[in-house]
Structure 1
Amino acid sequence: MRIAVIDLGTNTFHLLIAEATGNDPEILYKTNVPVKLGEGRINDNLIIPTAFERGINCLKTFHQTISEYKVDRIRATATSAVRSAENGNDFVQAVKEATGINIETISGDEEAELIYQGVKLSGAIQELSLIMDIGGGSVEFILCDMEQLIWKKSYNIGAARLMQQFFKSDPLSDEDKQAILFHVQEQLTDLFEICEKYKPQILIGSAGAFETFAELVTRKQNQFADIAQIKSYPFNYDDYIEIAGKLINSTHQQRVEMPGIIPLRVDMIVIATLITNYVLGRCKINRLTLSTYDLKMGVLASQI
C-alpha cells in the first residue's frame, strides 16, 4: 500500500510518500515547503491572507505529486497554527474545495503522541528520556522509556509565537532574553515538576531546530554528515554548548552567513536555542541526541 503523509506545521508543510511493506516502510518521496502559515499574527490566532494563499498553493502542488505517485491513502494533519486560528476551519474547508484533501486538525496531546511514535521508530529511545519537539506554534515534551510513554504535554511557546512577541533586538538583547525565559519558566512549571520526579538523563530533540544544531556541529568538526539520511545523531555536549552560545549572541546577518542554517530558521533558531538551553539546565540534563524521525513518521506508523 502506498501512503502519503502531509504535516501542516506552523512554519513548514511536509509531504512524505512511502510504500508500506511490513513494518519497514520504503520512503519514495519527501519534501518540505516553508509556508510560514503562522506569519504575522499567530498570537492573534489568525492566519493572514498571504499565508492562507501560500498554504492553499502548496497543498495544490502536494496533491499533484500525490496523484503522480498513485497513492492509496492520504493522512493530512494540521497542528498549532490551524488549531489555534479563528479562521483555521476556513483554511481546512478551502483546502478541501481546492484539492479534495481532508485535513485533520489534531490536539496538542495527539501531536505529542505521534511525535513519540515517530521518535520511537528512529531507535533513539534507549533509556528514560525527555523528548522535545520545537515547532513554530507549540513545543511538545514527552517523558518516556523504551517500553512506554510516561507523560506528555504540548505548550503554546513555539518559536514563531515567541519571536513575534519578544524578538525586538539584533543581536537579541539581555532584556529580550530575560523576557523570553521568564515566559518559558511560567509556562513549563509542570514539566519541571515531572522531571524532578523522574530525572531523565537525556534530551532527545525531534527534527527541526535540532537538525540545524547537528548541521552546525558536524560542519564545525568537518564531518559533513548527511543529516537527512540518518535516523539519529548523538551530540558531543560541549560542541552543542559552544554552537548554542554562538547562535544566541550572533546578529541576524552573522546567522545568514552560517552554512547549515536554512533561511526559515535564521531567527527562530535563537529562540529554539534559548528554550533548549533553559530546559537542559532546569532538568539537569547534559546529554543530547537528535532524532530525525518526528511527527511525520509517527503518522506514517499509525497508517501501517
Structure 2
Amino acid sequence: MRVAAIDCGTNSIRLLIADISDGRLTEVSRRMEIVRLGEGVDRTGRLSDAALARTKKALLAYASEIADSHVESIRMCATSASRDASNAQEFRDMVRGVLGVDPEVITGDEEARLSFTGAVAGLSAQPPYLIVDIGGGSTEFVTGDAGVDHAISVDIGCVRMTERHLHADPPATAEIEAATRDIMDAVDRALAAVPGRSASTLVGLAGTVTTVTALALDLPEYDADRIHHAKVSYDAVAKVTGELLDMTLEQRRALPVMHPGRADVIGAGALILRIVMERSGRPFLIASEHDILDGIAYSQA
C-alpha cells in the first residue's frame, strides 16, 4: 500500500511517500521545507499571512508529487503552531483546499505514539527508551519499551526560544542565560513527569538533533545515512552548542550541513538538546532520521 504522510510543525513541513507491506516501510520520497508556520505565534497568537502563504506553496508542490506517485492514502498531522493559533480554521481550510483532506491537530498522546513508532522501528539499542523530539514550538518527551508508557509536551522549541530570548547576533551572554533558565525549568518539569532519568537509551529526533549530529561528526555535507542512528556524546553536543551560540547568523549559514532555514534557530535548539542530556544524565544520544513522519505513514497501513 502506498501512503503519503505529512507532518506540519512550527518550523517545517515534511512529506514522506512510502510503500507499507507486512509491517515494513520502503521509502519512495522524503521532502522537507522550512515554512516557519509558527513565526510570531508566541507573540501574536495567530498565524501570519506570510507564513500561511509559504505553507500553501510547499503543500501545492507536495500535492503534485502525491498525485504523480499514485498514493492510496494521505494523512496530514499538524502540531504546535496550528494548535495555538487563533486563526487555525483558516489554516485548516487552506489545507483541505490544496490536499482534499483535513489536517489532524493531534493530541499529545497521539503525537507521542506516532513519534515512538517512527523512532524505534529498526532501532537496535537497549530499552527502555527516552525519546526527545525537539520541534519549533515545543519539545516532546516520551518513555517506553515496546510502546509508550509516559509522555509530556513542554513549550520549549527552537523557534519559540529564539523569538523569546536570543535577539542579538551572536546571542548575548545574558540572553543565553535567560534561555537556559527557561529551558531548564521546562526540562526538569518534563523529567519529573516521565521517568526519563531511568531510561537506558536517549533517542533524539528532528532537525535540531540531526543537524547537531552532523556538526559533531564533522560531515562535509548533510548525509542522512551517516546521521541516522549515529551515537553522539554529551561532550560533543556541548562543544557544538557553544560554537553555534558564539557564531553570527552569517557564520551559521555558511556551515556546509546547515539548512538555510534552520540557521537562525539552531543555537536555541542545540541549547535545548544540551540541557536535556545534562538534566537527564545521559552520556550519549542516538540520533534518528525517522520520527513522527514515519509513524504517520505506518498508521495508514
Shorter-chain-normalised TM-score: which range?
Answer: over 0.9
User: For 1:171-230, what per-residue CA distance to the aligned partner results, in whole angstroms no more than 9, with x for missing partners?
Assistant: 21121112112222333343232567852343211131111012112226x7x6832476
2:182 is aligned to 183
2:69 is aligned to 69
Offset at residue 231 of structure 1 (A) = 3.9
User: For 1:214-257, what per-residue CA distance to the aligned partner results, in whole angstroms no more than 9, with x for missing partners?
Assistant: 2112226x7x6832476411124433332222112222222122
SS state at 1:115 partner = helix
The answer to whether the 8 Å contact 2:233/2:283 transfers is no
In 1: Cα distance, 2:196 partner to 2:128 partner: 12
Offset at residue 73 of structure 1 (A) = 0.5
The alignment's TM-score, normalised by the length of structure 1, stands at 0.91
Q: Give yes or no for the alignment of 1:134 onto 2:131.
A: no
The alignment's TM-score, normalised by the length of structure 2, stands at 0.92
In 2: Cα distance, 1:204 partner to 1:285 partner: 10
The answer to whether the 8 Å contact 1:122/1:232 transfers is no
2:262 is aligned to 265
In 2: Cα distance, 1:214 partner to 1:136 partner: 18
Offset at residue 286 of structure 1 (A) = 0.9
User: For 1:145-183, what per-residue CA distance to the aligned partner results, in whole angstroms no more than 9, with x for missing partners?
Assistant: 3x3322111112111111111112122112111211222
The answer to whether the 8 Å contact 2:6/2:14 transfers is yes
1:160 is aligned to 159
1:113 is aligned to 113
Q: Give yes or no for the alignment of 1:170 onto 2:169.
A: yes
Which amino acid counterpart does residue 67 of structure 2 have in structure 1?
S
1:206 is aligned to 205
Offset at residue 75 of structure 1 (A) = 0.5
Q: Give yes or no for the alignment of 1:250 onto 2:247.
A: yes
In 1: Cα distance, 2:170 partner to 2:222 partner: 29
User: For 1:14-49, what per-residue CA distance to the aligned partner results, in whole angstroms no more than 9, with x for missing partners?
Assistant: 111111221112111111111111123344221100
In 2: Cα distance, 1:26 partner to 1:213 partner: 26
In 2: Cα distance, 1:230 partner to 1:286 partner: 18
The answer to whether the 8 Å contact 1:195/1:283 transfers is no
Q: CA RMSD in A?
A: 2.1
Q: Give yes or no for the alignment of 1:84 onto 2:81.
A: no
**How many residues matched?**
301
Q: Give yes or no for the alignment of 1:193 onto 2:192.
A: yes
- Higher mean Cα deviation, 3-12 or 91-100? 91-100
Which amino acid counterpart does residue 134 of structure 2 have in structure 1?
I
SS state at 1:4 partner = strand
Which amino acid counterpart does residue 138 of structure 2 have in structure 1?
S
The answer to whether the 8 Å contact 1:80/1:108 transfers is no
Offset at residue 70 of structure 1 (A) = 1.1
User: For 1:240-288, what per-residue CA distance to the aligned partner results, in whole angstroms no more than 9, with x for missing partners?
Assistant: 3322221122222221222211111112111111111112112221111
Q: Give yes or no for the alignment of 1:232 onto 2:229.
A: yes
The answer to whether the 8 Å contact 1:118/1:295 transfers is yes
Which amino acid counterpart does residue 202 of structure 1 have in structure 2?
T
Offset at residue 90 of structure 1 (A) = 1.6
> Mind listing any 5+ residue stretches in structure 2 that lack a counterpart?
none
Offset at residue 140 of structure 1 (A) = 0.4
